[in-house]
Structure 1
Amino acid sequence: IVAVGGGVGHVKEGDRVGIPWLYSACGHCEHCLGGWETLCEQQQNAGYSVNGGFAEYALADANYVGLLPKEVGFVEIAPVLCAGVTVYKGLKVTDT
């Protein structure tokens, strides 16, 4: 992170974060309140409805970024941001 907006407290300059495909969602519809933001009719997606991350810098919604551990390389952590999150959601929903 090279800069943060006002009111952002859980991440700071210098942190390493991942930006998921789900850039943001409304946060108040039935899907969002039920934990299914990917079904939100107002969702925005990186590289589709908002600019993606295939650039030196990217703008991200702080509520949707994931803090990445410094001791793990970007190549090793990259699969976690998509496949890993998908598997985690499945395990969480099924209480596995």
Structure 2
Amino acid sequence: MLLLTPGWMGALGWTSSLLFVISIAAAWWALGWVAALAVVAYGLLLSAIIDVISPLPTYSHCFNIVESTLKAASNPTVRDLADRVHAIRVHHGR
């Protein structure tokens, strides 16, 4: 899966989550709980939009591509790899 999605994407996700929490705390500290709720709403809306239009595929999307390609193969040995990929996906929680 590293060939389809770069490894730094995971670090970018954690960094953006950390910055989101910091921005909520800063809004609460500076303007109160109403501003913090506004930041939460804005962040959830923005993350939903970015998830839809992101140019980089997510891990689950990459797994879906690999699984569907392997299941469509005519070779039974290759189709068995789809089960292995599914097991890896379940093991890693994606």
Structure with greater strand percent? 1
More helix as a share of residues = 2
RCO greater where, 1 or 2, for CA within 8 Å and sep 6 or more? 1
Q: TM-score range by the shorter chain?
A: under 0.3
Structure having the higher Rg: 2
Instruction: With the length of structure 2 as denominator, give the TM-score of the two structures.
Output: 0.24
TM-score between both structures, scaled by the size of structure 1: 0.23
